[in-house]
């Protein structure tokens, strides 16, 4: 636009020069050229001033718009940075929490590893295995019957033959005293179930395992089934569910052998069920024991109630007789009252009649 205006000024000046040249007067030409130059310079300066103002205004407007855009961009960038910072902070916090949980889990895993190593060291020693089985048995008895319930069970009980059972149950007749002993045949069992061993080694371990279990059954039957002192049965407690499951699943001959010897094979789970059943039987026996007493008391109460009914009937008849007498007296009283009222009414009428005369 500005260049177009400059071109128009140049054209106007050129036309003025042409007009002056046609007139032919040199003096006038010079003067007119001078005036034209002066006018052109003024117009050019005015144009420059206007152009400068326009440029300044455009620059200011452009600067304002750019500054406004920059502010908007800055606000958006700040908002984006704040949002990203918040998300990053949440992510970082979540990562820290997960790392903390992982650290706790790692500590528990380390502790569990130590416990497993400790348990393995316990299970490799026969004496330690025996203690482990006794503690497990004691824990089950305490959970079923309560802590130190000496009326129902005792730990490390000594019989008259000198044998010491891990625990005994004192159940009412016909159950009687039942011995419970913990056994943990582990060495040959581990060799038998380890598939990395050769078949021949595993078969030999299986035979040895059966012999171990049967020896335990014989020991319990000979020590803890005492005629006249205990019941004719006893319980063998296997602290490992896997061993109990192995015997029940693949060694029916051991089950039959234990049955002949009157020995119940139990695991932690089945022992809890067995003890719970015995507890129910004990409660039922105790309930039946007191049922006769309750029945006799009910008979005595029935006799007292019959006696009470007779006495109440006599009292009722007496009350009924008194009630009839009271009614009769009440009737007689009404009649006497009416008679007095009638006599009184006759006297009053006579008095009134004499006064009138």
pLDDT digits 0-9 by tens, 273-297: 888 888 887 777 777 777 777 777 7
> How many degrees, rounded to 5, is the angle at CA 183 between CA 181 and CA 186?
175
Q: What is the distance between the alpha carbons of residues 273 and 266, in angstroms, rounded to a whole number? A: 9
CB-based burial label for 123 (10 Å; 0-12, 13-18, 19+): middle
pLDDT of residue 75: 77
If pLDDT is split at 50, 70 and 90, which confidence band does 260 have?
very high
Tell me if residue 158 falls in helix, strand or coil.
strand
Query: Which tokens is 353 given?
Result: 């009649």
pLDDT of residue 263: 93
Q: Averaged over 116-136, what is the pLDDT? A: 64
* Whether residue 22 has pLDDT greater than 60: no
133: left (phi over 0), alpha (psi -120 to 50) or beta: alpha
pTM of this structure: 0.51
* Whether residue 352 has pLDDT greater than 70: no
């Amino acid at each position: 636009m500005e260049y177009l205006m400059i071109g128009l000024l140049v054209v106007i000046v050129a036309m003025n020069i042409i007009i002056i040249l046609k007139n032919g007067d040199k003096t006038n030409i010079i003067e007119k050229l001078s005036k034209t130059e002066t006018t052109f310079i003024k117009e050019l300066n005015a144009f420059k001033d206007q152009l400068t103002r326009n440029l300044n205004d455009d620059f200011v407007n452009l600067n304002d718009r750019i500054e406004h855009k920059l502010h908007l961009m800055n606000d958006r960038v700040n908002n984006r940075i704040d949002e990203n910072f918040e998300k990053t902070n949440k992510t970082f916090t979540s990562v820290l929490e997960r790392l903390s949980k992982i650290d706790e889990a790692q500590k528990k895993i380390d502790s569990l590893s130590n416990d497993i190593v400790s348990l393995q060291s316990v299970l490799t020693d026969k004496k330690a295995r025996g203690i482990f089985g006794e503690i497990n048995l004691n824990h089950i008895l305490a959970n079923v019957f309560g802590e130190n319930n000496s009326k129902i069970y005792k730990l490390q009980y000594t019989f008259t033959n000198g044998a010491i059972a891990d625990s005994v149950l004192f159940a009412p007749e016909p159950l009687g005293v039942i011995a419970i002993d913990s056994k943990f045949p582990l060495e040959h069992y581990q060799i038998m179930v380890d598939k990395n061993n050769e078949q021949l080694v595993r078969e030999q371990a299986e035979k040895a395992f059966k012999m171990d279990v049967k020896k335990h059954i014989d020991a319990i039957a000979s020590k803890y089934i005492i005629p006249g002192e205990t019941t004719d049965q006893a319980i063998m407690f296997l602290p490992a569910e896997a061993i109990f499951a192995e015997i029940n699943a693949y060694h029916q001959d051991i089950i039959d052998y234990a049955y002949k010897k009157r020995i119940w094979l139990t695991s932690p789970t089945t022992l809890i069920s067995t003890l719970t059943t015995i507890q129910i039987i004990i409660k039922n026996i105790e309930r039946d024991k007191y049922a006769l007493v309750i029945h006799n008391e009910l008979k005595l109460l029935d006799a007292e109630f019959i006696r009470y009914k007779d006495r109440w009937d006599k009292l009722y008849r007496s009350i009924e007789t008194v009630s009839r007498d009271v009614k009769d007296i009440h009737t007689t009283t009404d009649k006497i009252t009416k008679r007095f009222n009638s006599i009184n009414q006759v006297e009053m009428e006579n008095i009134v009649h004499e006064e009138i005369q």
